[in-house]
Structure formats: structure tokens, C-alpha cells
Structure 1
Amino acid sequence: MKMKRYFAPDMRQAIRKVREDQGPNAVILSNRQVSGGVEIIAALDYDEALVNQALGAHASPPDHAAGKTGAAAYAETNNHEEPADSEADAPWDFSDYAAARNDASSLEEIQKELKALRNFMEAPLLQFGWGEMNKIQPLRANLLKRLMLLGLAPALCREIVDQVANAGQMDNGWAASLKLLAGMVPVADDDIVSSGGVIALVGPTGVGKTTTVAKLAARFALRHGRRHVALVTTDSYRIGAHEQLRTYGRILGIPVQTAGNREELTVVLNHAQDRKLVLIDTAGVSQRDLHLTEKLSSLSLGEQRIRNYLVLSATGQSQVQSEVIRSFRKAGLHRCIITKMDEASSLGGTLATLAQHGLPTAYIADGQQVPDDLHPARAEKLVKHAVSLMQRNQDTLAEETLAFNFGGMVANAHA
């Protein structure tokens, strides 16, 4: 088995050198960051039995990175820097290499590299696998690409496509995929404007809680009369925090009450028992605030049924949205309201987050106009809007990204 070391400014150019020199059957044995670029060791006529024979006497437990593919394995094994070898392009034989590094620690290191990078060593084959899927399963490949452009995570894309793979035509497959996605997004069938109740809007700072309170209050007042609405603020942390809600209250003709703690909130709610709708505007709390539950504890009144609605911005990243939901669920959540729909460049990630956590959405807000820019949530309309944003932005995905996400699927399917 002949091995050769290659040097290039980046990984893509290094892999290209390997392909040009040794062809598509070459196997990448290791890679590392060096001064000025990356170094790859590749082999032709790779014989795993030979490697195991040389390393078997010093076998070690699999490294924690073993089995990882693509960028994950590369990230874990690409964090050290060593000077480039002056004989970077000289071919050499594996037996010489093993003899030169015959001490136990070196052999163990070799074995760890081989195990941890085995899948990433074949990174060019991921591109080949994605290309093969494009040829033998064009409908599947196109659906995966579109769903990724929608903003969905690869795992959810695969889950959806697996269920519509027999759609036959692209248009049918795409329509079936969107219908399936809409069925995964939970929406609430209850309506605050119709049913009323004691509602608290909770969430991080800056997501639009106060404006949403004003929209709900205005809609309810238009239908039932303003004397049936009560507005309460519990935000005693920020200077001037009450002023925005009080301004809305003056415009709507609805007084605003302040409750700085549990006892004050109990008194205020007791005085508002004759109101059909009580809306509580809470202080913004970071999902990482160690005292989040304590700050929202005043909303947990045994004698009062307060329903917490999480206000979530559509402009947030999926990971952040998930973190917000997990954190605020500790204080109890009833429904969700999605705001800033008009500012979002993509909606697929938000829909995927809601589907993952099973949190029903009651309303969406798509502007600052009170009360016009507030609408009951409908799953089909949310998906339709997500598709509209995708088409408007005309985003593209690099083939390398698609290959890393889905290129191994063909190989796994035939394993």
C-alpha cells in the first residue's frame, strides 16, 4: 500500500490534489492543520487488514469521536497545528512508516486517527454519494434540497421525504411534503378574543410582548367593549417600563394597573374579577437567567387560573428558540405567539422548532399596527409563508453542504 502526503492552503484544494493524483479510489488516512494550510495523508490500494496487523498489538478503545462523519469528525481532529513537512509530496511505503513509529503511544495515535476519521477520510465519497442520489433518486434529492432551503434541519428533511418518496412527480412530492410539514406544526384552536380569561405574556426582552398585549386588548375591546378588559404590568425592573403600555391604555381608554410582586398581583386580579379578559404584560427575562422561575413565580397563583403565552420572535435562530421554550416551560406554558413575522427572512426553522417541542401557536404578528397586525395561527398559512420567503430570498445551498448532510444516505442505504 503506497501512501502519500499532500499539502494545500485549504481542505478542498487538498482533496482535489488527492483526486487528481490517485483517483476516486484513494482513501484519506489523516489530516491536520499546519502552518499555511492543511496536510492530508492519502493511500491507494488501502488495506485495512495491513493497518490492523501493524496496530493490533497496541489496540486501544475507540475514541469518542469514532463513527462521526463529515464536519463533526473533522472539527474534533483538526484543532492542532504542526509545521509542514519539507518532503510533502514524496511517496513512501506504509511498512517504513510503521517501523519509524513503532512505539506504543505512536501506534495508538495512528489507530485513533484511523478510527475517528474513517468516515471523514472518505469525504470525497460523500460528494459522490450525493451525486449518485441526484442520478438514481432525483425526486428525493430535489425534495431534500428544497426542504433544506426552507430552513428545516437535515433530520426533519429526511423524515418528511421518507414518507413521500413514492409521490412520483416533483410537484406531487413537494405538495405532499408541505402538507406533511403543516401537519407537524401544532396550532391552537382556542381564541383569546372570543373566550377571554387571565392571560400573561412571557418571554425574553424585545420580542414584542407589550405591543401584542395592546393588539389583543384592542381586538377584544372592539368586540366586547373596553369595560370588559383589564391591563396589568408586572415589569418593575426597567426604568420607564410601564410607559409604553400606559400609552396604549390611554389610546384604548383602558386603565393600566401595576403589580410588582405576587401579593400585589393577587389584589389586582381580585379587583378585576368582573372583567372578561385580563392581560398581564410581564418583564422580559433571558432564557439563561438563573432566576427565571423565581421572577415568574408571581404568575403561579393557586386561586387564579393564569395562562402563560410565550412570545417568540420569528427572527430568532432555531437553537435559541428551543432554548427559550425549554427554559420558560419551567414556569408553565399554555400557548405560543409568534411575532416579527414581517422581519423574518426564513420561517422553516421556527416551524421545525414548534413541531419539535409540540408547543401550539395561537397567534402570529406581522407588523406594528394595532390591532391589525395580529392573526390567528393556521398551519397551512404558516407553511405557505415559509415557502414565500424561500422563493423571495432565492437562496442557494453549496453542493458541499448538501453532500455532508445527505451524501452518506446512499451508502447507508446499501450497507
Structure 2
Amino acid sequence: MKVKRFFAPDMRRAIKQVRDTLGADAVILSNQQVEGGIEIIAAVDYDEGLLAPATTSSSPATAGGTGVPADAAAPVSRAARTWAGASRDATQASATAGTPSGPESPGAPEPEVRAETRRPVAVDWSQDPAIVAMRDEIRELRGLLENQLAHLAWGDTRRRHPLYTEAMRRLGQMELDSGLMERFARPALTARDSDEAWRQVLAALTAAVPEARDELLDHGGVLALVGSTGVGKTTSVAKLAARYVLRHGARHVALVTTDSYRIGAHEQLMTYGRLLGIPVQVASDPKSLRDTLSSLADKRLVLIDTAGMSQRDLRLTEQFATLADAGVPVRTLLVLSATAHASVLAETLRAFSGVVLDGAIVTKLDEAASLGGVLSALIGQQLPLHFMTDGQRVPEDIQVARAGDLVDQAAELARKLALPREESMAERFGGQQAHVHV
């Protein structure tokens, strides 16, 4: 066996030295980081028997019971013996454990020790600095290439379908979801001019907004409003109650609040109840809610104001369980703020998917700078829109939802915003638009 030490600035050069000197059949016994580079100890014509632990034998001319002369084992390098140290310690421990304690009988045969073979140290090529650097460089080059191709594809689409790309930019100005932008811009491919293209785009967008077909309050029953903190649930309950009182009278409606978490949470609803002349009751748990709804069985409409919680609040499941265990059918409306960011709206919809939603109310339209997020949420979840609110006045600032009005308001607000830059549009859609065709 021939053992040799190699030193190089990095692993790749060290391995090349091993291969050039000892050939492809060389075995790496150890490798370590040293000052200035990498040190590798390798061997060729490797015989594992030479690394077996030496044990006392009846013949002093042999070592380890392998028949190899002791003077032949001596030249094995210190690095090779170090590599075999773990195997030797384990073997000697095993031999000691299997030998009865106490003095040995004279002339008793010494137990045979079997050396356990061990595989050479494996080299993790993926962590080689040169390979890591090469991988990072390839990733960077790929990003640059994809960016260039995206710009070329978007520029080609803009030349072939200028009305389509213009519609895409205007929908982006509305801050609509990217997938919906592509979907609703397609009618522009067959339009004759820019005005016709935009009318067709808005018509397609309006048709996609799920709109409630009837007046929810006319059906009566038990109606609960749920939603995150600060979206306007309590004010919306008061507006709905006032709307019903104006049409059917105060003796047929009642209010219930389940908000037992906030200090003074009932006071606002109590004040609205006194102004409208309708009863307001508090239910803090499933049993009290069942009892309360049972006592209000003679009312045509019961509106429940639930506690406002973050979409990440773990107590939401308790609220869902309370409504599910009410003892009577409860229809649920999710209250969404038009001022919320699209990602917040999407997270809210996921959080409140634990309860069956019968529709939505969009609030704070008078405060919103863009309506693309709420439109994307409603279309994406196909959640019917029942009412829209645009102020604090009760009951004036609530209207039955009209998809056309919401889309027109979204387009009007978008005019105050800047169009997305061509570079931004290319990066978002360039890779996909190469396949657009009429």
C-alpha cells in the first residue's frame, strides 16, 4: 500500500493532484482544512487488513492475526492509523465486553478479534467553494437571461396587440390581481379602438363580480356579521337595523352582541338600540346565545354583532363554534374593509373560511384609495356582495350592492394612480405573453 499526503489551495486542485499522482483507484483516507488550503491523505493498493488493530499473538512475527509481518505494518503512515482509530477502539471495546472478568487461565487461547472495516471518508462535492461559486453565478446568469427574454416577449406582445397591453396596464393601475388582469384584458384583443376595448374590459369585470340577487333583510331570520377588528361591523349592524325599521317597523327586529372581550364593547350597540327603539341583548357563550335567540323567536329579524378579532386570533374558532351551536339557522355575512391591502383581504378570507359565509359587506368605500384588492377577493372567492357602505351616517350611508357601481368607482379611483411602468409589466407578464393570440 502506498500512502501519500497532498496539499492544495482548494479541494478541486487537491483531488486533481491525487488523481494525477496515484490514479483513479486511489482511496482518500482523510481530508482537513489547514492554513492556506486543503490537506488530503490518500492511498493506492489499499489493503484494509493493514489497518486492523494489532493484538497479542502466539507468534511474535505477526500482527493482528492477519499473517502480515509486523515490520510490514510499521511503515503505515500515522494518518492511516488515525483513520483506523475509531474502528480499533470499537473493536477492542467489543472484545473486552465479551471477555469474562477476572484473571485469565494460564495457557487459555486468546479470543480472535475481527477488525471491522470502515469506508473511506466521503467528499461532499456540493460544498466545494468553486462549485458553490459556480452555482451562484449560473443562478445569476439565469435570472438575467429570463429578465431579458421577458422584456423581449412583452415588447413583441405590445407591438402585435397594443390594445391588449394597454388594457393590462389600466387593470394594473386598478391594482387588480395579476391572474385576473390577464383574464379580463382578453376582450381587448378583438376591440377596434381603445375606448371600445376598455368598455369591454369593464363589462367583463362587472359580470364577474358575484352580486346578491335579492334583498337579504326581506327574508328575515338570524343574521350574524363577522370580520376582523375595525372593519365596521357594529356600525353596519346599526345601518341594517335602521334600514329594516324604516321599512317594517321597530317591533319586528332585535339586536344581539357576542362581544365580551373588549371593555365597553356593548355601549355603542346599546346606544344605537335606544335611538332606534329596539331591544339589545348580550350573549357571551353558546348557551346564553341559544337562550337569547329562543327568547327572540317572535322577531322577524335578529342581527348579531360578533366580536372583532384579528384574522390570526386563535379565539376565532370559539366564535365559529358559538354561531354553529346557536340552535337555529344563522346566516353569516363577512364584513370587508375596502381600505385593506389585497394580501390582508386574502388572509382574512382564509381565516374566516371556518364558518359558512353567505355573502359579504364592503365598508369604508369613502376612505379607499384603490378597490382592486376587494374586487380580487370577491371574484376569487365567489363571495356574493350584498351591501356597500361609504360613510358613518345611519342609515343613509349603506346601499344594496351593485357590481357596476363598484367597478365604476374602482376605475375612477384608478385614474388618480400612476400607470404601472413598462419594465414592471414586462417582468410580471413578459414570460407568459409570448403565447397570447387572438
Structure 1 alignment gaps of length 5 or more: 1-102
Partner of 2:419: 396
Q: Deviations over 1:170-206 (max 9, x none)?
A: 2221111111111211111232332221001111110
Amino acid at match of 1:368: Q
Provide the secondary structure at the position in 2 that maps to 1:381: helix
Q: How does 1:7-406 map to 2 (within 5 A)?
A: 106-107=130-131, 109-111=133-135, 113-114=137-138, 117-301=141-325, 303-391=327-415, 393-406=416-429
Provide the secondary structure at the position in 2 that maps to 1:120: helix
Whole-angstrom CA distance in 2 between matches of 1:412 and 1:109: 35
Deviation at 1:114, TM superposition (A): 2.1
Whole-angstrom CA distance in 2 between matches of 1:285 and 1:129: 45
Deviation at 1:402, TM superposition (A): 1.6
Q: Deviations over 1:56-81 (max 9, x none)?
A: xxxxxxxxxxxxxxxxxxxxxxxxxx
Distance 1:273 1:410, change over 3 A: closer
Deviation at 1:406, TM superposition (A): 2.4
Provide the secondary structure at the position in 2 that maps to 1:200: strand
Distance 1:413 1:118, change over 3 A: farther
Q: Deviations over 1:3-54 (max 9, x none)?
A: xxxxxxxxxxxxxxxxxxxxxxxxxxxxxxxxxxxxxxxxxxxxxxxxxxxx
Deviation at 1:332, TM superposition (A): 2.1
Deviation at 1:255, TM superposition (A): 1.8
Whole-angstrom CA distance in 1 between matches of 2:435 and 2:428: 13
Whole-angstrom CA distance in 2 between matches of 1:340 and 1:413: 38
Amino acid at match of 2:424: T
Larger Cα Rg: Structure 1 or Structure 2? 2
More divergent stretch after superposition (246-255 vs 113-122): 113-122
Distance 1:262 1:410, change over 3 A: closer
Whole-angstrom CA distance in 1 between matches of 2:231 and 2:170: 29
Provide the secondary structure at the position in 1 that maps to 2:311: coil
Whole-angstrom CA distance in 1 between matches of 2:217 and 2:372: 28
Amino acid at match of 2:206: A
**Identical positions, percent:** 46
Distance 1:413 1:142, change over 3 A: closer
Deviation at 1:122, TM superposition (A): 4.5
Whole-angstrom CA distance in 1 between matches of 2:410 and 2:290: 42
Distance 1:302 1:201, change over 3 A: closer
Q: Deviations over 1:108-162 (max 9, x none)?
A: 6424642575243342443343333332321111011111111112221112223
Provide the secondary structure at the position in 2 that maps to 1:198: strand
Distance 1:275 1:350, change over 3 A: same
Amino acid at match of 1:294: E
Deviation at 1:412, TM superposition (A): 5.1
Contact 2:157 2:433 in 1 (8 A): yes
Q: TM-score when scaled to structure 1?
A: 0.71
Provide the secondary structure at the position in 1 that maps to 2:333: strand
More divergent stretch after superposition (323-332 vs 155-164): 155-164
Whole-angstrom CA distance in 2 between matches of 1:308 and 1:185: 19
Q: TM-score when scaled to structure 2?
A: 0.67
- Over the residues paired in the alignment, what is the CA RMSD in angstroms? 2.2
Amino acid at match of 2:431: G
Amino acid at match of 1:199: L
Whole-angstrom CA distance in 2 between matches of 1:281 and 1:302: 14
Whole-angstrom CA distance in 1 between matches of 2:361 and 2:145: 46
Provide the secondary structure at the position in 2 that maps to 1:342: coil
Contact 2:388 2:400 in 1 (8 A): yes
Whole-angstrom CA distance in 2 between matches of 1:154 and 1:302: 40
Whole-angstrom CA distance in 2 between matches of 1:122 and 1:276: 62
Partner of 1:8: none
Structure 2 alignment gaps of length 5 or more: 1-126
Q: 2:430 aligns with which of 381, 388, 407?
A: 407
Question: What is the number of equivalent residue pairs in this alignment?
Answer: 313
Q: Deviations over 1:346-377 (max 9, x none)?
A: 11221011111111111111110100111111
Whole-angstrom CA distance in 1 between matches of 2:258 and 2:436: 56
Distance 1:306 1:136, change over 3 A: same
Whole-angstrom CA distance in 1 between matches of 2:359 and 2:412: 25
Contact 2:311 2:347 in 1 (8 A): yes
Whole-angstrom CA distance in 2 between matches of 1:166 and 1:231: 52
Distance 1:352 1:131, change over 3 A: same
Amino acid at match of 2:392: Q
Distance 1:192 1:165, change over 3 A: same
Distance 1:122 1:295, change over 3 A: closer
Distance 1:254 1:159, change over 3 A: same
